[in-house]
């Protein structure tokens, strides 16, 4: 397989990075660990690039590799035992019941977001999964003018907010 030039790498990243992040987060990783899993998968691609037999399956390879990296990190994290437990009275330590409520609310938000029409559904998902994405990246991914991204995002967030206010 020939070496990838910078444009080809950018294309791979724009096509698969968001999915890789979604896979890592779906495995229950924190944002930091998900970043490590995604970075690890990209590193595995660099290390294994010349051994990939079917370039048309590189997306599936990246997703599978991300999942393997995420599970590896998840196992490592589970096997770590903190030396010092946090003081339960410390207000900076979240209450477990609050975490359950927050997770339920997150599922509620995503369910409401799924009912939005395009481009709102995709645009909000891209921003949620790639919080550091620049408007230029989103515009290119969504095939929309750069100047429309902010206004469209604002309208989509308003629609989602209205849906959330309507429902219990």
Distances from the Cα of 168 to the Cαs of 36, 99, 108, 163, 164, in angstroms? 37, 19, 10, 10, 8
In tens, the pLDDT along 1-56 reads 556 678 888 888 888 888 888 888 888 888 888 889 999 999 988 888 778 777 78
The answer to whether residue 90 scores a pLDDT higher than 80 is no
Right CATH number for 6-80 from 1.10.3470, 1.10.1740, 1.10.10, 3.40.50?
Answer: 1.10.1740
CA distance 48 to 46: 6
Q: Which class does domain 96-166 fall in?
A: mainly alpha
Where are the chain's structural domains? 6-80, 96-166
In tens, the pLDDT along 98-156 reads 566 667 777 888 888 899 999 999 988 888 888 778 888 889 889 999 899 999 999 99
Q: What is the pLDDT of residue 85?
A: 47
Q: Which residue has the higher pLDDT, 132 or 95?
A: 132
Q: Which residue has the higher pLDDT, 158 or 30?
A: 158
Q: Looking at residues 61-67, what average pLDDT do you find?
A: 88
CA distance 72 to 34: 11
Q: What is the pLDDT of residue 152?
A: 93
Q: Cis before residue 129, ω within 30 degrees of 0?
A: no
The answer to whether residue 84 scores a pLDDT higher than 60 is no
Distances from the Cα of 37 to the Cαs of 33, 69, 123, in angstroms? 6, 5, 24
Q: What is the pTM of this model?
A: 0.46
CA distance 121 to 157: 10
Q: Looking at residues 80-87, what average pLDDT do you find?
A: 51
Q: What is the pLDDT of residue 109?
A: 84
Q: What is the pLDDT of residue 95?
A: 58
Q: Spell out where the chain has E strands.
A: none
């Amino acid at each position: 397989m020939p070496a990838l030039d910078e444009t080809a790498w950018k294309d791979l990243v724009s096509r698969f990075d968001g999915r890789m992040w979604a896979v890592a987060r779906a495995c229950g990783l924190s944002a930091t660990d998900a970043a490590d899993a995604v970075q690890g998968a990209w590193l595995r691609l660099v290390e294994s690039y010349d051994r990939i037999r079917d370039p048309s399956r590189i997306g599936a390879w990246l997703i599978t590799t991300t999942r393997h990296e995420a599970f590896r990190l998840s196992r490592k994290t589970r096997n770590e035992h903190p030396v010092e437990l946090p003081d339960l009275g410390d207000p900076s330590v979240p209450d477990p019941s609050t975490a359950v409520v927050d997770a339920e609310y997150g599922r509620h938000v995503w369910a409401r977001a799924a009912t939005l029409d395009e481009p709102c559904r995709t645009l909000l998902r891209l921003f949620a999964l790639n919080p550091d994405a620049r408007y230029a990246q989103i515009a290119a991914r969504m095939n929309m003018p750069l100047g429309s991204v902010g206004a469209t995002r604002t309208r989509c967030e308003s629609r989602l907010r209205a849906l959330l206010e309507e429902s219990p």
